[in-house]
A and B are shown apart, each in its own frame.
Chain A
Amino acid sequence: MADNVKPRVRVPKTASKDEVIQIKTLISHPMESGQRKDKDGNVIPRSIINRFHVTFNGTDVLDVAMDPAISTNPYFEFEAKVPESGEFVFTWYDDDGSVYEDKHSVEVS
């Protein structure tokens, strides 16, 4: 497992009904592409996050299939519609089977 994997997510705390809000996410991860070589010329094996999935109250918002061409510390910025108060769940899936999760609630006034 990659060390020090830490998700950071920015979601507004409140929104009005059906408002489209902007979400920014970043997760610290080396995203080893499997193309690089170490000092001795051995290929460093691939180790990346291969999927990023966002839901709101269980409904799909965004599902990204990621390949080695995504940069270190994968960053995503996207928009979501909030029909009601609820919770965003952000999930990252690592090549090694680890799953990283972060949750953020939004209050609809």
Chain B
Amino acid sequence: MKIDRREVLVVGAGAAALASLPLTAMAQDGAAEKTADELIAEFTGGAEVAEGDGVTLTAPEIAENGNTVPISVEAEGASEILVLAPGNPTPPVATFKFGELAGAHMASTRIRLAETQDVVAVAKLADGSFVRTSSNVKVTIGGCGG
């Protein structure tokens, strides 16, 4: 079989298109699969995170249905609170930013948990320092479909 210039060009273009596909797909996966630690580092800008005092995370000890787990975060004077579920396929849950007219700096919502895990909350306090806390939630039925 004779391969002329035209055919070589067509085959080459196809191969190039194929090669570029997996690359972009991988890049997107990478963005979605940041670990909890990376997300915390991004949130704090690398600043040190103290344990405990200043931020409260209220979550049930046992959640029968991982599809809707009520949680509540509170941190007095905090400007932002980041909530993470490191055991989920995608760890970020929500970031709460409190404005000037926020009352107590608290918020409640309902979240999905895929499995039993420690839910993490990191708060940025008024003085710019960061504190974190975590709460273990036992999940009977995971909430991510599957």
Question: A: which residues have CB within 8 A of B?
Answer: 20-22, 33, 35-37, 54-56, 59-72, 74-83
Interface residues of B in 65-104 (CB under 8 A from A): 67-69, 72, 85, 88-104
Rounded to whole angstroms, the CA-CA distance of A37 and B145 in the bound complex is: 7
**A35-B90, A69-B94, A70-B111 known; 8 other A-B pairs, CB under 8 Å?**
A33-B112, A35-B145, A59-B101, A61-B98, A62-B96, A63-B99, A67-B90, A79-B103
- With A67-B93, A71-B110 as known contacts, state yes or no: A81 contacts B102, CB within 8 Å: yes
A71 & B67 in contact (Cβ 8 Å cutoff): yes
B99 & A59 in contact (Cβ 8 Å cutoff): yes
Rounded to whole angstroms, the CA-CA distance of A83 and B111 in the bound complex is: 32
Please tell me if B108 contacts chain A, counting CB pairs below 8 Å: yes
Residues of B within 8 Å of A70, CB to CB, are 93-94, 109-112
**Interface on chain A toward B: helix, strand, loop, or mixed SS?**
strand
Rounded to whole angstroms, the CA-CA distance of A72 and B65 in the bound complex is: 13
- Closest Cβ of chain B to A104, distance in Å, is 14
Question: B: which residues have CB within 8 A of A?
Answer: 67-69, 72, 85, 88-104, 106-113, 143-146
A64 & B97 in contact (Cβ 8 Å cutoff): yes
Rounded to whole angstroms, the CA-CA distance of A45 and B91 in the bound complex is: 18
For this complex, 17 residue pairs linking A to B, each with C-beta atoms less than 8 Å apart, are: A20-B103, A33-B145, A60-B100, A60-B101, A63-B96, A64-B96, A67-B92, A67-B93, A68-B112, A69-B91, A70-B111, A71-B67, A71-B110, A72-B67, A74-B109, A76-B107, A78-B102
- With A70-B109, A75-B110 as known contacts, state yes or no: A61 contacts B99, CB within 8 Å: yes
B144 & A36 in contact (Cβ 8 Å cutoff): yes
Residues of B within 8 Å of A35, CB to CB, are 89-90, 144-146
- With A33-B144, A35-B144, A67-B92 as known contacts, state yes or no: A80 contacts B108, CB within 8 Å: no
- Closest Cβ of chain A to B80, distance in Å, is 9
> Which of the residues B93, B97, B103 comes within 8 Å of A80, measured between beta carbons?
B103
Residues of A within 8 Å of B99, CB to CB, are 54-55, 59-63
Residues of B within 8 Å of A64, CB to CB, are 94-97, 107, 109
A59 & B109 in contact (Cβ 8 Å cutoff): no
> Which of the residues B97, B102, B108, B112 comes within 8 Å of A77, measured between beta carbons?
B108
Residues of A within 8 Å of B97, CB to CB, are 60, 62-65
Rounded to whole angstroms, the CA-CA distance of A54 and B89 in the bound complex is: 29
